[in-house]
Structure 1
Amino acid sequence: MNPRLRFSLVLFLSLALSPAPSLSWKEEEFRNCNQTPFCERARSRTPGSSRLIASKVSLSDGSLVASLVDRDDSSGNPLSLTLTSYQDGVLRLVVDEDPSFDPPRRRFRVPDVVLPEFESSKKLWLQRIAEERIGDDVELSVVVYLNEDYEAVLRRDPFEVFVRERSSKDRVLGLNSHGMFDFEQLRGKKEEGQEWEERFRGNTDSRPHGPQSISFDVSFYGADFVYGIPERAMSLALRPTRGPGIEFSEPYRLFNLDVFEYLHESPFGLYGSIPFMLSHGKGRGSVGFFWLNAAEMQIDVLGEGWDAYNDGKIVLPSSLKRIDTFWMSEAGIVDAFFFVGPGPKDVVRQYTSVTGLPAMPQFFATAYHQCRWNYRDEQDVAEVDAKFDEHDIPYDVLWLDIEHTDGKKYFTWDKVLFPTPAEMQRKLAAEGRHMVTIVDPHIKRDDRYYIHKEATRNGYYVKDASGKDYNGWCWPGSSSYLDMVNPEIRSWWGDKFSLQSYSGSTPSLYIWNDMNEPSVFNGPEVSMPRDAIHCGSVEHREVHNAYGYYFHMATSDGLLKRGDGQDRPFVLSRAMFAGSQRYGAVWTGDNTADWDHLRVSVPMLLTLGLTGMSFSGADVGGYFGNPDPKLLVRWYQLGAYYPFFRGHAHQDTKRREPWLFGERNTELMREAIRVRYSLLPYFYTLFREANTTGVPVLRPLWMEFPSDEVAFDKDDSFMVGNSLLVHGVFNEHAKHVSVYLPGKQSWFDLRTGTPYPGGTTQKLEVSESSIPAFQKAGTIVQRKDRFRRSTAQMVNDPYTLVIALNSSKEAEGELYVDDGKTFDFLSGGFIHRRFVYKEGTLSSYNVAPTASGNARFNTKCEIERIILLGPAGQPKNALVRPGNLKTEVEYGPLQLFGTGSSNVLTIRKPGVRISEDWTIQLS
């Protein structure tokens, strides 16, 4: 090796393998659009430049099929088009190279993302098609049924697909409405003089199959804003990236990357890629678009006036308000889904009907997690565990990063630092606590390491362009990467999590997948080369964004195998793709301990929720850097409302467990964590709602208030379910915050019970003890207010119901309870109650599908307290039926998370069980 090259490589690797802050984000290390040929080519296209027309339209196997041909050159190979309608307002468009014309190779279709049951049981078998002339078109367009309210149209010339309302004929969503569709078909071997290779920062991509990109425009009609396509650290509503006067010129990039200390306010893609966008407008409601494609994607949101050019063949009703977008991908096929809504929850439900509902977590996983890179040894673990008890701070999970392993070999333990790992876990389990260890996809190339030996012998590694096992660098040094696209390898990997195979593990141990973008320190853009080869001769460029998804899948399936499928797995993943919600939780990666990252965590998590990833969180306190006590306290106060609530820190940071910042700050962080534990019954009910409907735990204001235009671009506050509104404090010196309270009903301060009118912006004085949080009038929130050390000790604790009455003096809410651990809930082992307060009476109803199914799970838990906010009159007694028992009511200050100033009505110890029907009448 050239000595200068050797020195450069050693220097690079020393920097890459060092945890020092020198790894911070550097713009020049990552490609922009101008350095990405497919993006640069696609962006040069203008409206009307597509020459494709649809021909040979017919029905086949219940779908509409057609050929797409060049209107100016009929000698070229056509593309095949398939249009399929599904139940619940879902339309699927597939465009690929026509296999009958013998393309050089089959293009990659992303497997194992679309649910098999969606494809097999939800398809609508089209029986007939209608024809209609649009505008001055010479060719008739084809109209197919979608549902009672919507229909799809295939326009022949110029080629276009759009969905419209059947009654008004107004469009709601369109593809190629501006004629910018381009599909680079695969060609044979390079001709002499052709240059297919691409180079970036010393790396060469051989691109053996040449250019194969796809691009097209998508229009959202009636939209005020568009949202989605995570993951990036910026606003919830996507800002325009192209158009007159727009300086924000980089498109939104979807390319899973390990980005150290990422910047906020950037379109740059981070650890995950979910190519799903949804729009919302006051008049139209919501629609969604999803492109199932795992190659690098770049997406423009086009500003008003971008389409001044018109070739005379684009027919768009000028009266329709719309937002246009432009989608570009390096490879793959068009496998696109249209979701018609019309409400935001409808769109999310339709999307998760395709990609899967979020997994139902175990109860412990919804509580507080304590993590650090790294807790040093078993003594350190024991001391941290004891300190939580000493300071009366609840927690449920303690995490170990890579330093717990033997030489960074996964499924092993450092025999000096962790000599008795099973006993360590059993001690935590005796207190109702759990442990999580890290398992990453890079496998140390050590011939003494049994995982490496098996993977090498079986040919389970991703190959480089020459066909050899790919060798990259990550934490262990020289590493190879398992080809998780292959189901056989995923199954083999899952077996490694058995208690027999994973020595030192116990049933209370769960898993963390990090670095699974995949991260390769010496690879292009800190990742795997695009010309690496997976099973079936699939290039890495085609599957890159789904690599971490398959790794997450394999790990989750491994935990299922471990317990014979009895217990629900818990696996946290950094990388994600469409469908990752089926396999566990995600987090927003290596954030930084500053106020901007605290602020941007809100739109990041809201966007993840909108795109299926309901169980998500951000590292509380910031992963990099040392937060000052004020920032740390504010982060705990906000993080207590994240769906996934974990404190985490880099090994170069100062220790930051909650008791290390003085008595007052410890008190404030303890109080924030206790807020979360008190609200766990409400959170768990919301996780079950997400598990059955796809609707996220954390929601943007407009999801609950879809007609409130002021709420459409609000992302400094959020809804937890339909009942709670939370607003962070994002400035160290803030004395006041302005909080918008949407809707027409009142909102009650969660601490004091003070009512505020809806549809107003309130300037509120900031208190160090809490962040603004409110309960919506007309809702009932369930709590457990006895403070315990962990969730295991809360199981039999009684409940508190907090009833916030609306202007009609009514309210309702739901409570879901199961064993918190197993899959028995799938066969009826749960309690699901609805509480309704109306005309002075609180009633409890069973809303489980069948009463007999509840026999598999029951509880003796009672209601110990009922609090009414905004009561009518001055009732003195409460009559409990059955039993005709009378109990007195009290009036006094609200005592939820502290003592408030408002007088509220409280019913103590009514003696009713959550599992039974009953009424409580005030008189």
Structure 2
Amino acid sequence: MVRARLSGGILCLLAILILMAAPGLSAKNYLFKTCEQSPFCRRNREYADRATAAPAAWAPPYSVDLATVSFETGVLDGTILKSVLDSRGEPTVAELPFSLVFLESGSARLVVDEKRRLGSPIDGFPSRLTQRRYNEASKWAVVGDMTPDISAIDISTDEERSGGIYRIKYGPNHSFEAVFSASPLQIKFLRDGEAHVILNERSLLNVDQWRPKPTVENLAEDPSLANEIDIKDMWEEDFGGKKDMKPKGPEAVAMDITFPGYEHVFGIPEHADKFSLRETRGGEGNHNEPYRLFNVDIFEYDVNSPMAMYGAIPFMQAHRKGSSVAVLWANAAETWIDIVKTRPNPEAFGTRKSTQTHWISESGIIDVYVMLGPNSASVYQQYGSLTGYAPLPPIYALGYHQCRWNYNSEDDVLEVDANFDKHEIPYDCIWLDIEYTENKKYFTWMKPSFPNAEKMMQALDKRKRKLVAIIDPHIKKETGYKVYEGLVKNDLTTKTENGKEYNGWCWPGESAWIDTFNPKAIEYWKDQFKPGKFCGYEHNLLIWNDMNEPSVFNGPEVTAPRDNIHYGNWEERDVHNVYGMTFINATVQALAARQPRQRPFVLTRAFFAGSQRLGAVWTGDNAAKWEYLDIAGPMLLSHSIAGFGFIGADVGGFFGNPTTELLVRWYQAGAFYPFFRGHAHIESKRREPWVFGEPYTSLIKSSIRLRYQLLPSLYTAFHRTSFDGMPIMRPMFLIAPDNEDILDIDDQFFWGETGLLVKPIVQQGALSTEIYLPDDEVYYDYFDSTIYQGLGYHHIEAPLEKIPVLARGGHILVRRDRYRRSATLMSHDPFTLVVHLDNAGNAAGVLYLDDGETTANIRGAYSHRFFMFSSQDNILRSRSMQPSSVNSRSFEKTIDTVRIEKVLLVGFDMDKLKSATSVESFQDKKSWTTEITVEVAANGKASVITVRDPKVLVTGDWSIQF
């Protein structure tokens, strides 16, 4: 993020960055590495080129020592041998122990390490370098049960085993099979007898073995060593005038992963690119660079690019007709991923291609998890069982958030707050960027502008609104600043390669970085959030963690030097992509300690696999341009299927000034982002929803109110993802998994449990669009019940006041139609049920309710209802989905007066209506009639029956007979 209001000493240092942020200028290619400039990526790409140029003649230096291979209690163990030359040019062998673990969850895990680095001394190196390869990425990413599946069985014959082939059956009903072949080394993962994932099919496994740094004398004795080793690249490198010392030498790991018969793969966020990932070896419409996973601060990022961004989730899903599989590459170092697609194999897969991927990481171990589905829902559940599910957020976090860099004072904050009420626009959270602090010192307030922060927060709290304050990991280096002095006193900062406190430049000027890998640093961070230390009014304080890649203005690639040292003596290069996750982890723990009964809300910019357990994320510093609105949808889908469903993009664009048309269209799209926030740069013009006047204020208001209307259904969807990982924003193939024509459609998506198909308008001047229906089910225009049906594209009008939203038949969505100031104030409002009947005349839906804020739901204090309309008897029913308990009954008593105030039955066959004037309701052994109004189907619109106040309560079982 490039800012304009900076402390004096940093201005010269950042002049070039500010120029890069100027309209029409970009030097991002100058700031960030290409694969060619990243030595380990270049070497492994060249290695792949040699292997694929003549695959029949390729002789990889890897083999399996069959004498070491054994299978016991769900684990296949052994040693891979790598033939290499030592420093004297003599042939030697590097030993790479491996374990193939079959987990009770149904996933399989392959770990490949290096024996030489497993704690044995490294001659001539400091003690900190005698340690093993970094193997703790899974410690942060994976929290699920890693118990081996003792029911996994070896079905290989003695002859196969003697030939180095092991066949292991595992998974549900032993429907999965792993075929391990020692020569050539390869692992096939089969489901129901068919291969779906293959590890090392192209023999691109490559592990940089430990070796001493070559000397001039070594090379003079055997010049052939120079062909293998580029001394400068392997032990040190220079990029952008900054030197990276690599005392441990080369540690890269790489492997190819093939998805046979899968032409489309998805995931590996974060990239501003298409949802279906492109090939990376050139060609029309493809990239020439691999996708890069390396958390960096990249302002006004390029769209349609494989460049690294703020976060990294090394999860990839492959989907084809009737099947989904996925892999997780659990490595926290810089990682590059090449993607190529093979020619179709008519005998095996018809016209479908296969996808071949090549994963390359700078250091660490090979630690890869394979999930065999068989469908997307199973994949997300398997992935969630490994990395954890996103917790149910507080209801207010799903409302609208108002932010800019910066609201300048308490008066400014309260004036914005009052204007939302004046214009009758709901919102839940107002945000403060860095200018609220005293000279960019976190946990302080700029007293002239914010003399009484507690009073301001109390005023917001009266209207049930929250304040979100930014807290970043860089801590101003200043004598007398207690937060910094405490870090130094307790030795809790990131260190340089020689063990000294690391200092770099960020918003405060010279700064230190808290090392949140250190458990003591987490405890120290928690202490800073105590009400007596940071704002005594605790009821409505939320936190925003920005710049946690970490962003270092004068660092290499605008981040920390790779030879910095973290707790445990790990180098930055080993842990880089997980640092941001450790920081938000510390903040979440701090808020939980501050408000132990409240569910915390934290927004993060940097993330890794498993970060979904901790909070929400946004796509960073976008711009007020149509192409950024366009790319937001594919980006959010990529995050969503990779487990991080609580995701949004800055509405309106962070940099620049949107036109009124762009702003309206962005609010329409943002109303369906899981995280819904308007945000703007300090030099952009004010653009709160009322600024542009009519008709734009009303158009923006209608989008925000639509979001609040649909909050019950959105909250229910978030509840589901908290236990099975089903995304909020759902790609087309989740609804129509057998339709392969939709796999590259990413400009529309299904939303939650509602059956709503959303197609944001993302082109300037567009007043209509084509929306693709992936099946033959009936669809209804959400706003006027116009019927659309038939596989393929359909034309739909979309004037500026309308976002195309169709409701798929068969779903019952739940909404609240009353206007309130905030989500919390809606807690006792009545509900409306909208029943969209499918082709057979049926529909179903779910509603989840709890108090919306506390952790009481974990103890059973919630209500979970199932609604169903059956064409067999034309009855709409409500039934409980949760076991009865003291806590559930206690919660339901708090909402026992909340009623269903309206039912809309869309698409009903009017010939089946017994009465044209009333329906009969049943609850608590009582019955009564309620009048209805009927809109008969006409002019392409479906019939709509409206039941007003049927006098049924949301708690308890009831029925309505049509």
- Work out whether the TM-score is over 0.5: yes
Matched, 1:368 2:400: yes
Aligned twin of 1:848:
882
CA distance in structure 2 between the partners assigned to 1:531 and 1:306 by the alignment: 45
Residue among 187, 206, 231 paired with 2:211: 187
Contact 2:152/2:171 (8 A) holds in 1: no
Distance 2:299 2:902 in 1: 48
Alignment of 1:886 with 2:910, yes or no, is no
- The answer for the alignment partner of 1:605 in structure 2 is 636
CA distance in 1, matches of 2:337, 2:671: 33
Deviates more, 1:772-781 or 1:734-743: 734-743
> What secondary structure is seen at the aligned counterpart in 1 of 2:577?
helix
Native 8 Å contact 1:242 1:306 kept in 2:
no
Percent of aligned positions that are identical: 41
Q: Specify the alignment match of 1:312 in structure 2.
A: none
What is the distance in 2 between the residues matched to 1:901 and 1:342? 38
Deviation of residue 26 (structure 1)?
Answer: 2.4
State the alpha-carbon separation in 2 of the partners of residues 456 and 153 from structure 1.
53
More deviation in 145-154 or 28-37? Answer: 145-154
Give the Å deviation of 1:49.
Answer: 4.8
Quick one: which of 697, 700, 703 aligns to 1:669? 700
Amino acid at match of 1:11: C
Is 1:259 the counterpart of 2:298? The answer is yes
Q: Which amino acid aligns with 1:50?
A: P
Deviation of 1:15 (Å): 4.8
Q: Which residues in structure 2 correspond to 1:650-729 (within 5 Å)?
A: 650-722=681-753, 723-729=755-761
For 1:318-333, list aligned pairs within 5 A. 322-333=354-365
How many residues are treated as equivalent by the alignment? 898
Structure 1 equivalent of residue 568 of structure 2: 536
Asked whether 1:139 is paired with 2:179, we answer: no
What is the distance in 1 between the residues matched to 2:941 and 2:608?
Answer: 47
* C-alpha RMSD of matched pairs (Å): 2.5
SS in 2 for 1:301: strand
Shift in alpha-carbon separation, 1:771–1:139, aligned structure 2, 3 A: same
Task: Tell me: CA distance 1:319–1:140, structure 2 relative to 1, closer, same or farther (3 Å).
Answer: farther
The alpha-carbon deviation at position 792 of structure 1 amounts to: 2.2
Is 1:151 matched with 2:185?
Answer: no
Q: In structure 2, what residue type is equivalent to 1:154?
A: F
Residue 44 of structure 1 aligns to a residue in which SS? Answer: helix
Say whether 1:50 aligns with 2:60: yes
Describe the SS at the equivalent of 2:102.
strand
Q: Which residue of 1 aligns with 2:127?
A: none
Residue aligning to 2:197: 173
Task: Tell me what 2:34 maps to.
Answer: 32
- Describe how 1:717-796 pairs up with structure 2 within 5 A: 717-722=748-753, 723-796=755-828
Q: Secondary structure at the residue paired with 1:725?
A: strand
Give the deviation of 1:87 after TM superposition. Answer: 2.4
Q: How does 1:367-446 map to 2 (within 5 A)?
A: 367-446=399-478
Query: Of residues 313, 322, 326 in structure 2, which corresponds to 1:288?
Result: 326
- Structure 1 residue 492, shift from structure 2 partner: 1.7
Structure-2 change in CA distance of 1:906 and 1:346 (3 Å): same
Deviation at 1:200, TM superposition (A): 0.5
- 1-side partners of 2:37 and 2:293: how far apart? 15
Could you tell me which amino acid in structure 1 is paired with residue 875 of structure 2? T
User: Within 5 A, what are the aligned runs for 1:57-136?
Assistant: 57-59=69-71, 62-70=74-82, 75-98=92-115, 102=120, 104=122, 105-111=131-137, 112-119=139-146, 122-125=147-150, 129-131=154-156
Distance 1:893 1:331, change over 3 A: farther
Secondary structure of 1:884's counterpart equals strand
Query: Please, what TM-score do these two structures have when normalized by structure 1?
Result: 0.94
Offset at residue 58 of structure 1 (A): 1.0
Give the secondary structure class of the aligned counterpart of 1:131.
coil
Secondary structure at the residue paired with 1:658? coil
Structure 2: how far apart are the matches of 1:10 and 1:656? 28
Match of 1:160 among 173, 186, 190: 186
1:4 corresponding residue in structure 2: none
* Poorly superposed stretches of 4+, deviation over 4 Å: 7-10, 14-20, 22-25, 71-74, 114-117, 132-138, 243-247, 316-321, 899-903
Name the residue aligned to 2:12.
Answer: 11
SS at match of 2:762: coil
Deviations 1:857-912 (A, max 9, x none): 11121100000110112442211113110111111499xxxx99765110110111
2:411 and 2:463 map into 1 onto residues whose CA distance is 17
**Counterpart position of 1:628:** 659
Name the residue aligned to 2:4.
none
Q: Deviations over 1:239-296 (max 9, x none)?
A: 111267775210000000100111111111110000000100015x100000110000
Task: Give the CA deviation at 1:8.
Answer: 12
Which whole-Å deviations, capped at 9, do the CAs of 1:647-683 have from their partners, x for residues lacking one? 0000010000011112100000000000000000000
Q: CA deviation at 1:793?
A: 1.9
Equivalent residue letter for 1:13: L
2:957 pairs with 1:914: no
Equivalent residues of 2:119, 2:132 under 8 A apart: no
Q: What is the deviation of 1:235? A: 0.4
> Relative to structure 1, is the Cα distance of residues 647 and 509 closer, same or farther in structure 2, using a 3 angstrom cutoff?
same
Distance (whole Å) between structure 1 residues aligned to residue 285 and residue 941 of structure 2: 50
Give the Cα separation in 2 of the matches to 1:265 and 1:183: 31
Aligned with 1:198 (options 237, 260, 270): 237
How far apart are 1:714 and its partner, in Å? 0.7
2:945 to 885, 897, 905: 905
Please report how far the alpha carbon of residue 181 of structure 1 lies from its aligned counterpart in structure 2 after TM superposition.
Answer: 0.4
Secondary structure of 1:886 counterpart = strand
Distance 1:8 1:406 in 2: 17
Q: SS state of the match for residue 124, structure 1?
A: coil
Alignment CA distance shift 1:381-1:72 (3 Å): closer
In the TM superposition, what is the alpha-carbon distance from 1:359 to its structure 2 partner? 1.7
Distance 1:192 1:130, change over 3 A: farther
Mapped to 1, the partners of 2:20 and 2:818 lie a distance apart of 41
Q: Does the Cα contact within 8 Å between 1:549 and 1:576 map onto a contact in 2?
A: yes
**Contact kept? 1:242, 1:303, Cα under 8 Å:** no
Q: Distance in 2 between matches of 1:420 and 1:28?
A: 45
Distance (Å, rounded) in 1 between the aligned partners of 2:638 and 2:807: 23
1:708 is displaced (CA, Å) by 1.6
Q: Which moved more, 1:549-558 or 1:876-885?
A: 876-885
2:928 counterpart letter in structure 1: L
Q: Is the 8 A contact 1:573 1:585 kept in 2?
A: yes
- 699-708 or 538-547, larger mean C-alpha shift: 699-708
Q: Contact conserved, 1:741 with 1:757, CA < 8 A, in 2?
A: yes
Give the superposition deviation at 1:465.
1.5
Counterpart contact for 2:787–2:941, Cα < 8 Å: no
Over 3 Å counting, the alpha-carbon distance change for 1:20 and 1:705 in structure 2 is closer
Cα distance, 1:765 vs structure 2: 1.8
Q: Distance in 1 between matches of 2:941 and 2:165?
A: 70
Equivalent residue, structure 1, for 2:228: none
CA distance, structure 2, for counterparts of residue 733 and residue 245 of structure 1: 28
- Whichever residue aligns with residue 713 of structure 2, its letter is Y
**5+ long unaligned stretches in structure 2:** 1-7, 53-57, 86-90, 123-130, 218-230
Partner of 1:520: 552
**Cα-to-partner distance string for 1:39-80 (whole Å, 9 max, x where unaligned):** 100001224453322221113564211000136888413100
Distance change (3 Å), C-alpha of 1:10 and 1:465: farther
For residue 849 of structure 1, what is the amino acid of its counterpart?
Answer: P
Once the two structures are TM-superposed, the CA of residue 133 in structure 1 deviates from its matched residue by 9.3
Amino acid in the other structure paired with 2:904: I
Amino acid at match of 1:140: I
1:757–1:306 Cα change, 3 Å: closer
Amino acid at match of 1:230: P
Instruction: Identify which of 559, 569, 574 aligns with 2:600.
Output: 569
- Relative to the length of structure 2, the TM-score reads 0.90
2:224 paired residue number: none
